[in-house]
Amino acid sequence: MRKIVCVLVVAYMFHFTANAQQRVAFKDGEKLTYTASYKMSGFMTELAQVSMETSEVETSSSTLLHFKCRANTYRKFDFFFKIRDMYESYVSKTSLLPVLYRRDIQEGNYEKKMKYVYNQSKRIIKSTQTKRRANGTDWVVNKNFTFSNGAMDVVSTMYNLRNLPIENARVGDSKTFSIIFDRQETPITVKYVGKETIEAGNLGQKECYKLEILTSGDFLKSGTLWLTADGNKVPVLARFTIPVGSGILQLTNARGLAN
């Protein structure tokens, strides 16, 4: 399921530089819900629910935006492969740059946690990785590493790229970006191919921007994503192929939209 979440995240990448001063595509209280389907025995089967939520958090010195993404298998599939994954990022409300990132993966008997604390001025991340051993004890690894200008974790990247002015793009425009995942930067190229009308859950039929995803990374072979062609740029549909199969993410419900 962590690969499915990454697909949704990287698909937001586009041609322009984000500007936090423009109209923001999301706000406190937004919640998006998706079904995640995977091809099994030749048929697409709905296996899980993916949700994304936005909220505000007050600290002693500033207001942060808290982005949370959850992926849970439906109960009837838990016996086969139970998934309870959570990704979250805290970003500056003014710059939209990340301050803190956390990932908690529980997939079958596999458990892993990752935490990043950002120093944006020095471009250094303090990371803590925790894995659960078979005997129930934890294996903790602390490591500092540098990151390049504009590179972010998967969650903060997702929301920053949603805020880009895609309406100014031309068909064929493309750009390569970097996502930080498991302490490594992965290049992703996204190309704008035009507009299509797509079924968007409770939003009904929506005109959408269509993006193609190109990467040499090990978690994605190819993908296509549709974002609503309006001020919210809600992701409504993603089709993807990964090394072990293919799947679909489909929006079912969107509420608390900013525009």
Which residue is it, tokens 């489909």?
250
H helix or E strand, kind and range, residue 126:
strand 124-132
Pick from 88, 140, 94, 137: which is nearest to 116 by CA? 88
The pLDDT assigned to 40 comes to 66
3-state class (DSSP) for residue 58: strand
- 179 has pLDDT over 90: no
The pLDDT assigned to 162 comes to 83
Q: What is the separation, in whole angstroms, between the first and last Cα of the chain?
A: 30
Is the pTM higher than 0.75?
Answer: yes
- 12 has pLDDT over 90: no
The pLDDT assigned to 7 comes to 44
- 259 has pLDDT over 50: yes
- 8 has pLDDT over 70: no
